[in-house]
Amino acid sequence: MREGVTITLLPVRGGECTSDGDCATGGCSGEVCAPREEASKIVTPCVYRPWYDCLSLTSCGCVDGLCTWKPNPAFEKCLREHGVDPSRVIRAGYFELRVEGVNKSDGEINAALKDFLGAFGVSCNSPLTLVKTAVTRLSPAIDPSEVNASEAIKAELEWLIETGVLWMDESDVEGVLRAAEWGNAGHNSNIGWYETKNGTFSWVPYLGSRDPKLIRCTSQVVREYELPNGTAYVGPTLTKPPSANPTTTSGSTGGEVCGPGIVILLALLGALAGRR
């Protein structure tokens, strides 16, 4: 982020290779690392330079889709000792720059981008072509960085009370506002009318209540349970499941009567008793 302009560096994978086997050395002294089909065609002056000795500290291979001498601290140190900038030997690959500026002019975006590239030692004197893309994002009506939680919840509660959706007296509203903090959400922190640890009731986050059952961790691993052997009957059923031992069976043997049937039967018995 530079002066309201967001700049993102995204690596772009090259298309020269997918493995080290796709790369090979070329040139008179084998000092060039290139795609295998091109390496044999590369011609360089047959002058052995001292820094070529550093090539024994690395290997020619595929890095991010490009054929290059593989970087490592020893190789880069050796190049510097011979007065060679490692960036002239090691290919760094390609990067895509994504620039986002809201309500910024092209000049402001260009200046921020050149300043960003300059921090990496990249000189960019040519004019940049900007492709404008309109991006619509949902933005909250209240910015948490500018308004505290109690003010935000107060505005919401007042609106709900005015529209008749919620009924709360002023003391309850004040109690909720005292407990309101950004992040008080979820099972552990929901604000409610709970019994507190000293035995009184108050508007507090659930974790501040008396003997809360807190969630301490979660896992995406589903535990496997082994069910015992046998037959499970899920009622209600029209026929009673067979019993292996009739002498130990309790209840009616002529079929079971569920809850609603019992209520109706009791009502009829009451009516008959009244007539007598």
Same domain, 212 and 90: no
Pair 208, 196: CB distance under 8 Å: yes
The verdict on residue 29 lying in a domain is yes
Is 67 in the same domain as 117? Answer: yes
One-letter amino acid of 3? E
Residues 43 and 123 in one domain: yes
What are the tokens at 100? 């986002």
Assess whether 37 and 65 both reside in one domain: yes
Whether residue 160 sits in one domain with residue 133: no
Whether 65 has a pLDDT exceeding 60, the answer reads: yes
Q: What is the mean pLDDT of residues 111-116?
A: 82
3-state SS class at 195? strand
Same domain flag for 75 and 64: yes
pLDDT digits (tens, 9 = 90+) for 157-192: 888 888 888 888 888 889 888 888 877 667 788 888
Q: What share of the chain in percent tops pLDDT 90?
A: 26
Nearest CA to 66 out of 29, 122, 31, 19 is that of 19
Give the number of domains in the chain. Answer: 2
Q: Which residues contact 61 (CB under 8 A, 6 or more apart)?
A: 20, 23, 33, 67, 68, 70
- Domain interval for residue 43: 1-137
Question: 120 and 162 share a domain?
Answer: no
Q: What 3-state DSSP class applies to 159?
A: helix
3-state helix, strand, coil in the chain (%, to 5): 35, 15, 50
Q: Domain for residue 270, yes or no?
A: no
Are 166 and 150 within one domain?
yes
Within-domain flag for 251: no
Which of 79-88, 156-165, 173-182, 219-228 tops mean pLDDT? 79-88
Helices (H) and strands (E) in the chain, counts: 7, 8
Are residues 160 and 114 both part of a single domain? no
**β-sheet bridge partners, residue 10:** 96
CB-hemisphere CA count at 13 Å for 193? 5
Residue 54 domain-assigned? yes
Show which of 137, 159, 187 is a domain's final residue: 137
Where a domain ends, among 98, 120, 137?
137
Residues 4 and 123 in one domain: yes
Q: Is the same domain home to 130 and 143?
A: no
Q: What angle do CA 250, 251, 253 make, to 5 degrees?
A: 105
| Residues 131, 9 share a domain | yes
pLDDT higher than 60, residue 248? no
DSSP 248: G
- In this model, does residue 220 exceed pLDDT 80? no
